[in-house]
Structure 1
């Protein structure tokens, strides 16, 4: 037997469900004590655990004392959660793991890429003991902070892991068992965070690892679907930029460098490395391309022979469906509230410009005050810049892309399916400004008319689940009638239809 084989023979394996778990935990404690006392002749932990112990000890984690570090205070948690990509798949994680965790005396934990706990849910009887060892939202469980544990170790090795009892480096965690798996960004491949199920030591089961690994895969698949939808909306909104090249080679690129549309087709790589400085990129085939920033993403195109004028500022308005209006200027978000968003929509609808009196009438009706409008425009100019929002008359100067403009263009071109998919919701649903109400009614009537006239069952179902059609009885009835009886979308739509009929 070689020395490597002998070393492997002395390593303890992961727990077998058929084994005596108490006896196995006792064995792990003896292995732990031997390792901490540097007994070279004793049994050794499995390689995954041994390597993690070494990393943790090198980071000066004290095996006898756990001091979880709170990285995100409770007052900041809500904002951090809402901004994190895994917030989008939290309903999936809850439906997949929380009910199982509750029944099996476990808690579900979701962390960010640094091992900071963002969500913790599950068996209420375990929350107190979890608090006692620092398993609380906002605390970090990266290996360098908390030693070997499933959340920190799965991020360190980028693979699903299970850590049982005395495999934890810190002694106060020996009463616990946990399994975790990393979740990756489908765009960049980087780790977004980890999902974990944790419980008392006696609840260990090898299926825990398979469960969290499968759930992580489901979460990545759902993120991939959301990315595809976002890509399609980005492509639809920005196709006019590609069309403006008039047949010359060009491509639309996401902010992370993925190419989502290109002319001619089939001559572009999957992604490009965008330059940190400058406006040129060299493709793998040797072609040099100009990188032109759009309000959302970039446009690649071959260098023009004629000298180009100074680039115009790029402004994007996304005001359909979102809880808060989104304004992007030269690729950077600009925070705005409802009133500035209404001003921008009105100015985008009137590229020739508007006076303060005209704006007051469009936004406030006969009671509008031009002085109030002048003050609001002044504040908006401070946000966007005087070169973007011009005066005398008030107008937007630059390349302006709007989601409602895209929907309007597609409806006028007789493409209701594309228009519905470009409309992520209703136009500024909280706005009562006359100009906004009129445009909102125009868009919703156009979407409704285009879909109902076409009679396509899938498109009817899509409109029935869209904010524009969710409470529209005729849309719901037409969708129920068009869908086959075994279509999985039909029961939910029929239930809403029945509720509206009962309320009416």
Structure 2
């Protein structure tokens, strides 16, 4: 687990990158006052406010603090507590309708807790904007156990250089208590749905995509189609989907699971899946590369570390996996995250070809370095190792065709040893000899 200092440092870097002005005097207003009642009524935390007030409000008022509850974007929907602190909060926008995301006011207990996905305390000058240096706050995100999405943040704030150490634990416990109540309601709803459809065979899936009955996938998630059709299950099998009004029924088809083919070498990663070509963002390509090279799977925490190091956030990884699954339904299983079905990558193909000395396949599939824009330490290591192996094999054993093909990649284009080797084995009247000569001249 990252230390508090690391969390604050990472938050400051994000705040600076977002261009947050340290001299602003208040958080921005994002809700018209007349719209707040409707926003509250439609929010999933609305029914839990009595619970949160009972847990925190008396303590907050007695200690001259206030309690704040926001939506998932850090916009304040509820607040209560000590009257004088409420008046002070009005001056800086710590009130209903104002935005407290990091992108709005920089490092603070609400926005940083939402960004990091963990209970977070921010004291005095640790706040990014100067007007907050006289404040301290502790925030904890509340996560929907059904969807895994963050619903909002509960926060205790006060006019002091710090808050009692027990405040962090108390706010975190309040968030966990809210999540426990949400989980209880979810389980009661699941049981009603299971009872209502007990006579049906197949997988019973909630409207959020959770398997709630059937076979061995209970608790896992599937990406449901927007309309009827098919869904790919965690083990790669395909199922037909029927909407039941309060849930979905999935009946498995027989047959081979879809094949996932990944092109990761060079500068434009993409996937081929279920007959479709899907262009991949760098982050999705990085996740798929790590899962392909770790076939037993990785947890969100492991993926986060391999991608971001100590600054990683598992919440960010879970959100990216959610978006990736929408692009490649059924390709990524959970607990731990892993690729399912038949998977092939150009990275694996080149590795196999190198091990057997098949240089024709190597130069055909090696179109350049592995995800050249990736800063992940793990992927950089894979990239450098593969590049070194390809260069060594082609330089030592390759013919003119192999050498010239490698010279068209970003790594080989200006490689002096490669270019000199080409000139030594192709005739002087060969266009490759002339091109290599020109590149050599420019390289000095």
Instruction: Tell me the TM-score normalised to structure 1 length.
Output: 0.48
Partner Cα distance (1:56, 1:202) in 2: 21
2:100 paired residue among 118, 136, 141: 141
Partner Cα distance (1:269, 1:176) in 2: 42
2:176 paired residue among 196, 217, 225: 217
> Which ranges of structure 1 fall in alignment gaps of 5 or more residues?
1-12, 15-45, 243-248, 305-504
- The Cα shift of 1:278 comes to 5.4
Matching residue of 1:252: 204
Contact 1:109–1:117 (8 Å) recurs in 2? yes
2:235 paired residue among 285, 307, 312: 285
Partner Cα distance (1:220, 1:259) in 2: 20
Matching residue of 1:174: 133
> Which ranges of structure 2 fall in alignment gaps of 5 or more residues?
255-444
1:389-423 CA distances to partner (integer Å, 9 max, x unpaired)?
Answer: xxxxxxxxxxxxxxxxxxxxxxxxxxxxxxxxxxx
Contact 1:174–1:201 (8 Å) recurs in 2? no
Matching residue of 1:205: 164
Matching residue of 1:501: none
2:248 paired residue among 289, 295, 298: 298
- The Cα shift of 1:274 comes to 1.3
Indicate yes or no: 2:56 matched with 1:97.
yes
Partner Cα distance (2:12, 2:23) in 1: 13
> Secondary structure at the residue paired with 1:65?
coil
Moved over 6 A (4+): none
- The Cα shift of 1:64 comes to 1.2
> Secondary structure at the residue paired with 2:147?
coil
Contact 2:211–2:217 (8 Å) recurs in 1? no
1:109 paired residue among 44, 47, 68: 68
> Secondary structure at the residue paired with 2:31?
coil
> Secondary structure at the residue paired with 2:158?
strand
Matching residue of 1:272: 222
- The Cα shift of 1:115 comes to 0.4
Matching residue of 1:235: 194
Indicate yes or no: 2:145 matched with 1:186.
yes
Indicate yes or no: 2:2 matched with 1:52.
no
Instruction: Go from structure 1 to structure 2 and tell me whether the alpha carbon gap of 1:267 and 1:227 turns closer, same or farther (over 3 Å shift).
Output: closer
Instruction: Go from structure 1 to structure 2 and tell me whether the alpha carbon gap of 1:115 and 1:268 turns closer, same or farther (over 3 Å shift).
Output: closer
Contact 2:26–2:91 (8 Å) recurs in 1? no
- The Cα shift of 1:277 comes to 5.6
Instruction: Tell me the TM-score normalised to structure 2 length.
Output: 0.54
- The Cα shift of 1:202 comes to 4.5
Give the paired residue count: 252
1:350-379 CA distances to partner (integer Å, 9 max, x unpaired)?
Answer: xxxxxxxxxxxxxxxxxxxxxxxxxxxxxx
Partner Cα distance (1:255, 1:291) in 2: 12
Partner Cα distance (1:228, 1:280) in 2: 26
Instruction: Go from structure 1 to structure 2 and tell me whether the alpha carbon gap of 1:212 and 1:269 turns closer, same or farther (over 3 Å shift).
Output: closer
Partner Cα distance (2:40, 2:236) in 1: 43
Contact 1:66–1:146 (8 Å) recurs in 2? no
Contact 2:228–2:242 (8 Å) recurs in 1? no
Matching residue of 1:483: none
Partner Cα distance (2:234, 2:23) in 1: 53
1:121-169 CA distances to partner (integer Å, 9 max, x unpaired)?
Answer: 1111211111001111111100010111100000111111111111111
Indicate yes or no: 2:40 matched with 1:81.
yes
Instruction: Go from structure 1 to structure 2 and tell me whether the alpha carbon gap of 1:157 and 1:266 turns closer, same or farther (over 3 Å shift).
Output: closer
2:110 paired residue among 151, 162, 176: 151
- The Cα shift of 1:81 comes to 1.0
Instruction: Go from structure 1 to structure 2 and tell me whether the alpha carbon gap of 1:66 and 1:294 turns closer, same or farther (over 3 Å shift).
Output: farther
Instruction: Go from structure 1 to structure 2 and tell me whether the alpha carbon gap of 1:237 and 1:207 turns closer, same or farther (over 3 Å shift).
Output: same
RCO higher in 1 or 2 (8 Å CA, sep ≥ 6)?
Answer: 2
Contact 1:283–1:289 (8 Å) recurs in 2? yes
Indicate yes or no: 2:21 matched with 1:69.
no
> Secondary structure at the residue paired with 1:69?
coil
Partner Cα distance (1:110, 1:157) in 2: 17
Instruction: Go from structure 1 to structure 2 and tell me whether the alpha carbon gap of 1:88 and 1:183 turns closer, same or farther (over 3 Å shift).
Output: same
Partner Cα distance (1:269, 1:88) in 2: 25
1:167-208 CA distances to partner (integer Å, 9 max, x unpaired)?
Answer: 111111111110111111111222111110000115622211
Partner Cα distance (2:219, 2:180) in 1: 23
> Secondary structure at the residue paired with 2:39?
helix
Matching residue of 2:80: 121
Instruction: Go from structure 1 to structure 2 and tell me whether the alpha carbon gap of 1:66 and 1:297 turns closer, same or farther (over 3 Å shift).
Output: farther
Instruction: Go from structure 1 to structure 2 and tell me whether the alpha carbon gap of 1:50 and 1:303 turns closer, same or farther (over 3 Å shift).
Output: closer
Partner Cα distance (1:231, 1:54) in 2: 42
Partner Cα distance (1:146, 1:90) in 2: 25
1:8-67 CA distances to partner (integer Å, 9 max, x unpaired)?
Answer: xxxxx97xxxxxxxxxxxxxxxxxxxxxxxxxxxxxxx3322221221122121111134
Partner Cα distance (1:219, 1:176) in 2: 26
1:164 paired residue among 105, 111, 123: 123
